Structure 1
């Protein structure tokens, strides 16, 4: 527990909390895409609006980047924040139930709220692949495949984690390939831009805004369920 609430670390917590509350309040997780599902908005409108939300999040994090850097970076501060919340809820974060678990999955819902699931998966992907070779990666199904028939209706925390993990593992190689071709693109979405930054700077840790953006991707994918290819079919 932090004793001095005026420390830079505590201030970083407060800035991240403001960051979380602002982006959650934007409503981009569900309301826009619910309108798309029910035909109130078209694909172009919700896609652009979602990407603008990602850009807003990136700008917000860049504004406090110097403060976060003093405390080890946004990812480190987010991890400390997650650990503090686990302690407050009486959950031992590192008491993993099975080999390969990222943390004690009893804390899955807290991790989801803090964007720690996507942040963990991003960091793991970068650690397991050479950044200069990210565009050559492909997912072979080693950990299973995302089940679109389940979507967001997974019942247990472990099932939810597997849905998140497999969705991200299938998604990352495609984004990495697009990032490698960024110089050839006339329009670049924020997730691809973020991955390109990481590929070009081997010292850079995954920014928190990119974890949030990829979490939104997972949320949208799961929200659409078996209709997740609708956007592709409409193009």
Structure 2
């Protein structure tokens, strides 16, 4: 029962994957451009880090779809254009305010709609709060975990930042719009580091389940 992660070779992926803090969380590191079916034979959980080249993921779509078809768990993070290659994923962009979450007068819009979900045994809800790049629209039957309402002007729709889909495929597809590998690897945004820490601890648990 192993946790694998794709490595695209960027500085932030390398810091998150090979840096001292998290290097022991991964059983296998797979270079994204060279991904093969043999690489996915053993791992029970595969993480696609945020900001992985979407062109490569579209190229590897048959491998990733087959991986889910074998009942495995795929975790897909933000800025990967998952809607172009992952089953059932629909998204909408939002204008990104990079600093609102640092303003003590601002109330985060995040809604924790499933606080009993197993992931929140590892991830503190407040660790999901930083800027928003866009939202997801979960397929019917998937479990939303963190939602946000439409914006105040009604121009941007309500949606979800994180969901758990066990119905679209024989496997389990966990999708998020958050980008913790980038922020941890760039050494800013402490909430992102806390989120990644909890996510990886959960992944180790889920891979054994």
Relative to the length of structure 2, the TM-score reads 0.29
Richer in strand (by share): 2
Richer in helix (by share): 1
Specify the structure having the higher radius of gyration (Cα): 1
